[in-house]
């Protein structure tokens, strides 16, 4: 392993991989978590790259900026002089870049696009599309300039749990189609990186039934496919209630009176209902949390952001990600 390929652990953050693949069920906030992780790992003068591959422009929407091009761009300053760059990988652009690199296509490449050849090539073989996308991620992860790596870490906002196994398992998908040639070589190189200790797959979930189920399923799939799982990231958690027990209506009424709040029947009944729902919810969350603990993987809990994910919210998530260790 050369110096450029050695795994690192910036400032002992507990995030020891170089390539962080962040997946999760739709709606769990995986883009926000990926962005926060890129920020956290860039802190202290480092440089990270945040990559998206599904053409959703989720990063641009999260940061409230114009759609990202197929080009590494400055995205945000990280604390203490770090930098996060962003890239939206597009399969067609990646194919052209790839062909150009190996075959010096130039204007012929543009002609191919006009013919629909590129669209065709990436459509006919979805595995090819994924090789191109992951290939670009690999290139950015291993790129060096002089003695230094271009990026201290690369964070991939990956496809959701339902598609992640197939997406990462590029060799299997392409092996069926391409038995020899550079595509095969390329996919093998990508597969080697994705299965090495340099890569960790993190799964984002909420304390809700479906996301937790998908998390458990995805981790089983990914493990069977030989990928290294990093952390289970539980998003949107709430601090435990200090008293942590059911309240009686009489108790509640006394409390409201003491606080100088209205303590009429409707108010007491309404708040009592809220408290009951809260207890049901918390119990469900506790049992789901226990299911996740049973996975035996490092777990990070991120707080629910009451005002949504704005820049301050991202900074809070970034802090929570590294503080957890």
Partner 1 sequence: MPSEDAAPQLDVDQILADHGVKIIVCCGAGGVGKTTTAAALALRAAEQHGRRTVVLTIDPARRLAQSLGLTELDNTPRQVKGIDVESSGGELHAMMLDMKRTFDDVVLQHTDPAKAAEIFANPFYQAMSSTFAGTQEYMAMEKLGQLHARGEWDLIVVDTPPSRSALDFLDAPARLSRFLDGRMLRLLLAPARSGGRSMFSLVTASFGMFSKVVQKVLGAQLLTDLSGFVAALDSMFGGFRQRAEQTYRILQARETAFLLVATPEPDAVREAAYFAGRLRDERMPLSGLVLNRVHRPAVPELDAEQSRVAAERLTELGGHEATVDVLRAHAALARQAVREQQVAARFTEAFPAVPAVSVTAQPADVHDVDGLRTIGAAISRP
Instruction: Establish if 180 lies at the interface with partner 1 (CB under 8 A).
Output: yes
Pairwise CA distance, residues 270 & 123, whole Å: 55
Q: Which stretch binds partner 1 (CB under 8 A): 8-16, 148-156, 173-181, 224-232?
A: 173-181
Residues 261-300 that bind partner 1 (CB under 8 A): 261-262, 266-267, 269-275, 277-278, 280-281, 284
CB 75, min distance to partner 1, A: 18
C-beta of residue 94 within 8 angstroms of C-beta of residue 133:
yes
CB 147, min distance to partner 1, A: 33
The DSSP letter of residue 68 is: P
State which residue, 27 or 81, has the beta carbon closest to partner 1.
27
Pairwise CA distance, residues 193 & 196, whole Å: 5
Pairwise CA distance, residues 97 & 75, whole Å: 23
Residues 13-42 that bind partner 1 (CB under 8 A): 25-28, 31
Residues 77-106 that bind partner 1 (CB under 8 A): 99, 102-103, 105
C-beta of residue 22 within 8 angstroms of C-beta of residue 51:
no
State which residue, 63 or 151, has the beta carbon closest to partner 1.
63
Instruction: Establish if 320 lies at the interface with partner 1 (CB under 8 A).
Output: no
- CA angle (156 as vertex; 152, 162 as ends), nearest 5: 155
C-beta of residue 13 within 8 angstroms of C-beta of residue 23:
no
CB 274, min distance to partner 1, A: 5
Q: By C-alpha distance, which of 156, 110, 192, 140 is closest to 4?
A: 140
Please identify which residue in 260, 290, 294, 296 interacts with partner 1, judged by CB under 8 A.
260
3-state secondary structure of 88: strand
Residue 55 in tokens: 């053409």
CB 319, min distance to partner 1, A: 20
Instruction: Establish if 308 lies at the interface with partner 1 (CB under 8 A).
Output: yes
State which residue, 200 or 314, has the beta carbon closest to partner 1.
314
Instruction: Establish if 11 lies at the interface with partner 1 (CB under 8 A).
Output: no
């Amino acid at each position: 392993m050369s110096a450029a390929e050695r795994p690192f652990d910036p400032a002992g953050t507990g995030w020891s991989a170089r390539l962080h693949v962040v997946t999760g069920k739709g709606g769990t906030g995986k883009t926000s978590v990926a962005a926060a992780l890129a920020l956290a790992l860039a802190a202290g003068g480092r440089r990270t790259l945040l990559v998206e591959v599904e053409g959703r422009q989720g990063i641009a929407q999260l940061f409230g900026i114009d759609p990202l091009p197929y080009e590494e761009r400055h995205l945000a300053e990280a604390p203490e002089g770090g930098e996060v760059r962003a890239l939206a990988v597009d399969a067609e652009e990646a194919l052209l870049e790839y062909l150009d690199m190996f075959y010096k296509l130039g204007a012929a490449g543009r002609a191919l696009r006009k013919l629909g050849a590129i669209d065709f090539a990436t459509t006919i073989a979805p595995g090819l599309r994924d090789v191109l996308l992951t290939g670009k991620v690999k290139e950015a992860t291993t790129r060096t300039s002089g003695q230094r790596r271009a990026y201290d870490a690369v964070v991939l906002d990956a496809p959701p749990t339902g598609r992640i196994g197939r997406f990462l398992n590029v060799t299997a998908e392409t092996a069926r189609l391409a038995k020899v040639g550079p595509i095969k070589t390329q996919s093998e190189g990508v597969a080697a990186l994705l299965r090495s200790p340099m890569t960790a797959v993190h799964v984002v979930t909420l304390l809700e039934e479906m996301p937790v189920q998908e998390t458990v399923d995805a981790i089983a799939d990914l493990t069977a496919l030989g990928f290294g799982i990093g952390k289970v990231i539980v998003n949107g958690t709430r601090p435990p209630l200090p008293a942590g027990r059911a309240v009686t209506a009489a108790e509640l009424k006394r409390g409201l009176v003491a606080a100088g709040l209205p303590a009429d029947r409707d108010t007491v009944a309404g708040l009592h209902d809220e408290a009951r729902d809260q207890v049901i919810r918390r119990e469900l969350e506790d049992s789901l949390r226990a299911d996740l603990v049973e996975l035996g993987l490092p777990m990070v809990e991120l707080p629910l952001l009451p005002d949504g994910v704005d820049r301050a919210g991202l900074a809070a998530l970034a802090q929570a990600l590294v503080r957890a260790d």
